[in-house]
Chain A
Amino acid sequence: MTNVAVRFPSIRLVVGTLCLLLLCAGCTVRRVVFNDVVTSEQVKFIRIGQTTMLELADHIGAPDEVTESEFGVVALYNWSDTKSAGLDFGAIPRLFFPYAPTMSLNKTGITPEQFQVVFDPQWTVRAYGFSRRITDEPVVWFWPF
């Protein structure tokens, strides 16, 4: 009895670790981050009709794309944070059986975001805005329904 009582914390640790491993079994977490996020705080300095492209680049870097539209030249800043998670229920049976079917749930959230700046012919800012609202999705969310 005494021996079991002494070993109880270590048994609890082993059982706890095994439970944690079982919970994580078959989990895949993927994340792809493209470029730095441009926040609304970072672009507060922009003044319509005053801020030039060079000043913009000094503050938030060079744009990823410059293109011409019917309203003037547009500078585009792109970034994204793609999160993907999956849970494979066949991962544990595969350790014990020669064949176990793949039963997995996966979810991927691709969220391309853009900051657009329109310039007038004098290369000063005519208008600017974010194309999407930033959403704060959890990294691990495999439920696809």
Chain B
Amino acid sequence: MLFLKPLAGIIIVLALVLTQGCVVTRGTIGEPLQEEAISAIKKGTTTMAEVVSLIGAPDRIVRGNDREIFHYYYYDGKSPAMLLLLLNFIRMDVKSDNLYVFFNRNGIAEEVVYGKRTGRTQFRLWPFGD
């Protein structure tokens, strides 16, 4: 038991020394898009009001080719940093998810375009390379 106390102290000090100068930041914009709600949108039957009740109000409404397009987005950013006495490395990786619901002139969902990139956002510190 007496041996464990100094060992725990050494581990804590070592952990503090190893992690000193480390900064981990995460930032998001909007709410993650729920894939179950997206798959519940049925082309040719789901109305504009039903889309709003499933996913919520759109972040943007765009008009294109005389049709309404609902745009939903979500951004996720991960940024680790190492701030040492003489050398600093900071990297941030930001990716976005986008969902577009195209409505016909009667307000019925005609097409759904969804792209998810945030699953590939990583905490990568090394700023060199790809």
Which residues of A line the B interface, CB within 8 A?
A: 21, 24-36, 53-54, 57, 61-68, 72-73, 83, 91-92, 95, 119, 121, 123, 139-140
Say whether B96 faces chain A, with CB atoms less than 8 Å apart: yes
Q: Are B127 and A30 interface neighbours, CB within 8 A?
A: yes
**Pick the contact of A123 from B65, B86, B88 — CB < 8 Å?**
B65
Q: Are B86 and A92 interface neighbours, CB within 8 A?
A: yes
Q: How large is the interface on B (under 10, 10 to 19, 20 to 34, 35 or more residues)?
A: 20 to 34
Q: Are A62 and B87 interface neighbours, CB within 8 A?
A: no
With both chains docked as a complex, state the minimum distance between the C-beta of A114 and any C-beta of chain B, in angstroms.
14
Main secondary structure of the interface of A (DSSP, over half): mixed
Main secondary structure of the interface of B (DSSP, over half): strand
Distance of A123 Cα from B62 Cα, bound (Å)? 15
Which chain B positions have C-beta within 8 A of A72? 64-65
**Pick the contact of B127 from A24, A64, A139 — CB < 8 Å?**
A139
Whether A62 contacts B88 in the complex (CB less than 8 A), given A29-B127, A36-B117, A139-B128, comes out as no
Q: Are A29 and B89 interface neighbours, CB within 8 A?
A: yes
Q: Which residue of A lies closest to B79 (CB)?
A: A32
Which chain A positions have C-beta within 8 A of B128? 29, 139-140
Distance of A113 Cα from B36 Cα, bound (Å)? 32
Q: Which residue of A lies closest to B127 (CB)?
A: A31
Say whether B85 faces chain A, with CB atoms less than 8 Å apart: yes
Q: Which residue of B lies closest to A120 (CB)?
A: B65
Say whether B48 faces chain A, with CB atoms less than 8 Å apart: no
Say whether B55 faces chain A, with CB atoms less than 8 Å apart: no
Interface hit among B3-11, B16-24, B108-116: B108-116
Which chain A positions have C-beta within 8 A of B115? 57, 61-63
Distance of A140 Cα from B36 Cα, bound (Å)? 44
Q: Are A25 and B99 interface neighbours, CB within 8 A?
A: no
Q: Are B111 and A53 interface neighbours, CB within 8 A?
A: yes
Which chain B positions have C-beta within 8 A of A140? 128
